[in-house]
């Protein structure tokens, strides 16, 4: 999970920076000229069109904290981003990753479930569906996990441009089916063992009574 998270962080951070960089590099006519050799700070724009938006800035802050293993700082950064724009999927997705890393699976699930109702590209929605399915499998909620993997696979089928792993959904469902069967078989074996032990105990008690009467 950590390797996958770091890869996602890098790709998302790069996407935000690259999209803002060309505009941020253009200096406003009203802005003073930077001194030779000095680096001018990136321009900021609440809309995100003429520079880095406050929302994107908080996302990048949260991602930087996550990479630095400052999970509380990452959670705060993503929460601040959500306050600035609760309509976007990315903040909830990243908050879910940070919550899971902190050990709070319930909050991670809540963040990802909320993310599905927000605006975001198909690729990001596929990632959210993957995370939910993986989490429910970790929680051993087998039926919910199987349905979640089915939703992930169905989404990829309906949205072929979304980068994902449809074969993973099918394989995980097979693994869950095998796990459920093994658990049922184990329960049946355990019940037989308990029954046999009860029969042996009963037989031993009856033999003890016979020995007592024969004395």
Q: For the segment 33-73, what is each residue's pLDDT rounded down to a tens digit?
A: 333 444 455 566 565 555 679 999 999 999 999 999 999 99
Note the CATH number of domain 1-119.
1.25.40.10
84 in Cβ contact with 54 (< 8 Å): yes
CA–CA dist 110, 132 (Å, integer): 10
Lowest-confidence region among 22-36, 52-66, 87-101: 22-36
Angle between helical axes of 71-84 and 54-67 (0-180°, round to 10): 170
pTM metric for this prediction: 0.66
CA–CA dist 32, 50 (Å, integer): 17
The confidence score (pLDDT) of residue 41 equals: 53
């Amino acid at each position: 999970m950590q390797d996958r998270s770091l890869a996602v962080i890098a790709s998302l951070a790069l996407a935000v920076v690259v999209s803002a960089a060309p505009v941020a590099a253009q200096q406003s006519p009203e802005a003073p000229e930077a001194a030779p050799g000095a680096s001018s700070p990136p321009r900021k724009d609440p809309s995100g069109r003429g520079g880095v938006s406050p929302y994107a800035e908080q996302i990048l802050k949260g991602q930087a904290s996550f990479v630095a293993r400052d999970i509380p700082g990452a959670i705060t950064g993503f929460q601040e981003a959500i306050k600035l724009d609760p309509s976007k999927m990315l903040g909830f997705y990243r908050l879910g990753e940070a919550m899971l890393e902190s050990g709070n699976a319930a909050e991670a699930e809540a963040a990802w479930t909320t993310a599905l109702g927000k605006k975001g590209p198909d690729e990001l929605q596929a990632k959210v569906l993957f995370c939910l399915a993986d989490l429910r499998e970790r929680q051993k909620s087998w039926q919910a996990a199987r349905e979640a993997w089915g939703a992930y696979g169905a989404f990829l089928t309906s949205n072929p441009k979304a980068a994902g792993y449809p074969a993973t959904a099918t394989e995980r469902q097979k693994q869950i089916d095998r796990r459920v069967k093994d658990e049922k078989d184990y329960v049946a074996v355990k019940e037989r063992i308990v029954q046999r032990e009860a029969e042996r105990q009963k037989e031993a008690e009856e033999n003890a009574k016979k020995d007592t009467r024969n004395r």
